[in-house]
Amino acid sequence: MATTIMTHGTCGREDPERATLPFLLGNVAASAEQPAIVLLTIEGVWLATKGYADGIHKDGFQPLGEIIESFVANGGRIWACGACAKPRGITEADLVPGARIVTAAMVVEAMAKGASALGF
C-alpha cells in the first residue's frame, strides 16, 4: 500500500500562499494516485467551509477554490481539526464536499500508520 501524504495547513485568507500550498502539494500526490490528506488546523479550518476559499488567489497559482475542487476530484481528503473547528462554530454541515471534522486521535493514527507529513 502507498504511503499517505499528509500536508498540514494552518492559514486562511490572511496568508493566501500558505493557504494554497498544502492543497497544491496534496493535489500533486492525489493526481499521482497517492493517498492524500490535507489536515487543517487553527485558521486553516476555515478552508474546509463552503465558500471560504472563493476569492483566495496567490499570484503564480491557480485560484485556491479550483485547487481544492481538483484535489477532492482526484480522491484527496480534507480533515478539519475538531478542536479548532468547535470554537469557531464550524460543523459538518458547513463543510465542502470531501471534508470532515476529525479528532486528534485520527491524526495520530494516520501518522502511526506511516503517513508522511509536511506543514505550511
- In degrees, rounded to 5, the angle at the alpha carbon of residue 103 between the alpha carbons of residues 98 and 106 is 80
Span 6-31, mean pLDDT?
A: 97
Would the pTM count as exceeding 0.85? yes
Q: Are 56 and 20 in contact (CB under 8 A)?
A: yes
Q: What is the CA 88 to chain-centroid distance, rounded?
A: 17
Assigned fold of 5-119: Hypothetical Protein Ychn; Chain: A, (3.40.1260)
pLDDT band at 66 (very low <50, low <70, confident <90, very high): very high
pLDDT number for residue 21: 97
Which DSSP string corresponds to the chain?
-PPPEEEEE---TT-HHHHHHHHHHHHHHHHTT--EEEEE-GGGGGGGBTTTTTT---TTS--HHHHHHHHHHTT-EEEEEHHHHGGGT--GGGBPTTEEEE-HHHHHHHHHTT-EEEE-
Is 1's pLDDT higher than 80?
no
Is 120's pLDDT higher than 90?
no
Q: How many CB atoms lie within 10 A of CB 110?
A: 19
Span 83-98, mean pLDDT?
A: 98
Span 14-32, mean pLDDT?
A: 97
pLDDT band at 110 (very low <50, low <70, confident <90, very high): very high
* Mean pLDDT rounded to a whole number for the chain: 96
pLDDT band at 2 (very low <50, low <70, confident <90, very high): confident
- Listed by start position, the domains of the chain span 5-119
Conformation bin of residue 98: beta by default, left when phi > 0, alpha when psi is -120 to 50: left
